[in-house]
Amino acid sequence: MIEKVGIIGAGQMGSGIAQVSAVAGLSVAISDINAEQLAKSVAGIAKNLDRQIAKGKLTADEKDAALARIATSTDLSIFNDSDLVIEAATESEDVKRLILKALVPNLSPTAIIATNTSSISITRLAASTDRPEKFIGMHFMNPVPVMQLVEIIRGIATDDDTFQSIKALTVRLGKTAAIAEDFPAFIVNRILLPMINEAVYTLYEGVGGVEAIDTAMKLGANHPMGPLELADFIGLDTCLSIMQVLYEGLADSKYRPCPLMVKYVEAGWLGRKVGRGFYDYSGPTPRPTR
């Protein structure tokens, strides 16, 4: 049974995974190369738990107990007694491979490795480790504490014990599993990102402005968030990475990233996290930039 969970990456995804794991009673270790980011992660988790207390979903004692279960370090050796380590770093195959190679010497022989990749081949990433049979995809949705779904993806070598352990953990975390095959972008992003990419093409070709496109999809298709607003929320760099994985992995022109998305990423306009994307977030309310 998985009782000790390690998480690589103290960003939004890693912090969210840490939060739900600690609340579920698991011992949590978070590692990041940036000590300041680790402190920010724990502070953010505490703030989120305070919100849950205010909503009556958590008690103050439960918050304190959850935070007490979280340890942090810039050193991967913090994972030497982890039952499972979840890689939640940036959506770059090269970066993930380097992290996984550095991780392996710090693990017990029985530890499972999961990746939170939203698009990259599980089989290829598993080949960077010494245990492809104990390697699996565990794709959480953002924001993790709110979103119910976890996509579980087996690589070609993933054994059944690993698969069953991750399924059981997903239930323990209060999530629902969707089992996906190891194809580029899996299920959610195979469907979602081409829609976002098409919305960017719609803007690029002048069919409608940012506000018109988002309003049309919110009111015309009953989406809670417009596709361009959603792209800003996800991060345009992440959206572009996923589209590139689809385009290269499936060799189909329908997945070609829109040149406007490429241009925004090149400009550093990555969305909410930097204050500008399809919307400008510098003021009290977001304003469309086109």
The encoded tokens of residue 146 equal 């709110």
132, 157 contact by CB (below 8 A): yes
Helix, strand and coil in the chain, % to nearest 5: 50, 15, 35
Side-chain half-sphere exposure of 114, counting CA atoms within 13 A: 28
The encoded tokens of residue 56 equal 């009556």
Write out the H or E segment, with its range, that includes residue 92.
Answer: none
CA distances from 35 to 23, 40, 74, 286 (A): 23, 9, 6, 31
Write out the H or E segment, with its range, that includes residue 84.
Answer: strand 84-87
Of residues 114, 112, 115, the one with CA closest to residue 83:
112
190, 183 contact by CB (below 8 A): yes
Q: What positions carry a catalytic annotation?
A: 118, 139, 151, 189
Edge-to-edge strand ranges of the sheet holding 4-8: 70-73, 27-31, 4-8, 84-87, 112-115, 135-140, 149-154, 176-180
Q: Torsion over CA of 171, 176, 177 and 183, rounded to 10 degrees?
A: -150
